[in-house]
Amino acid sequence: MTDMHLPRSATMPKQHWSTWVGILGLGSAIILVLLHLLKPDLAPTARFVSEYATGDYSWLGRVLFFVSGAAIFCVGLAYRDRGAGKLVTAGAWLHLFGGAVMFIAGFFAMDPMGTPADQMTMHGQVHSLTGMVGIPVVPIAALVLAIGLWRRGAPNRALLLGGALVAIASLVALQVRIVSIMSASPDAFPMDSDVGTYNRLWFVGLYAWLAAVWFTGRSSGQRS
């Protein structure tokens, strides 16, 4: 079967799961905004989003990771077993993995920013590990899936590719900035950096991707 003769359903997300992508993605964005309002003491330009899961309203910060992870996981469920090729399948499974990693991150609070590496707690080490894995995996999963759908001539493929590229751009910006900061302060992360801005841009990229998947599912009118 050639790419151009695939049934339309093979390149569309399952509408049930894409609806949950939209609901959970919107919920994550609302929670993130609420945390900024509830914890103004955490400078958004300098502090990681993960710090909202410590101190006051830490439970809401944890919910942010649970809801975000569930939204990413639902992208994988929406495109899994569609028979649209290896790239689409790989992208779906990467979303399942990335969503699970982000969900797990919610159980482990990060150590206070600036904690030396040799003084990190077990919880902080696990959270850092989930961040090192989950932060790059999710945008890469989005790009793999979007490219696979583009090659199959999927509806809204330009929107999906655009959303994935926004996610990738936010990842690159964050990683470059972290490397730059760590090269200047290798022992501990400085408290006055602008890494928080780039961390929040990563979430903007995530929401752009989730919105593209939700819109594609909504416009398909397909029920599974």
Q: What are the residue boundaries of the structural domains of the chain, listed by start?
A: 12-220
How high does pLDDT run on average in the chain?
Answer: 87
Query: Is 116's pLDDT higher than 80?
Result: no
pLDDT digits (tens, 9 = 90+) for 24-56: 999 999 999 999 999 999 889 988 999 998 888
Query: Is 143's pLDDT higher than 90?
Result: yes
Question: Which pLDDT score is estimated for 123?
Answer: 76
The packing angle between helices 195-220 and 157-184, to 10°, is 170
Q: Are 183 and 152 in contact (CB under 8 A)?
A: no
Question: Which pLDDT score is estimated for 189?
Answer: 66
Query: Is 118's pLDDT higher than 70?
Result: no
**CA 160 – CA 152 distance, rounded (Å):** 13
> What are the tokens at 160?
């999906």
The single residue listed with the structure tokens 């979303």 is 95
Question: Which pLDDT score is estimated for 80?
Answer: 86
pLDDT digits (tens, 9 = 90+) for 55-105: 889 899 999 999 999 999 999 999 987 666 899 999 999 999 999 999 999
pLDDT band at residue 152 under the 50/70/90 scheme: confident
pLDDT band at residue 12 under the 50/70/90 scheme: confident
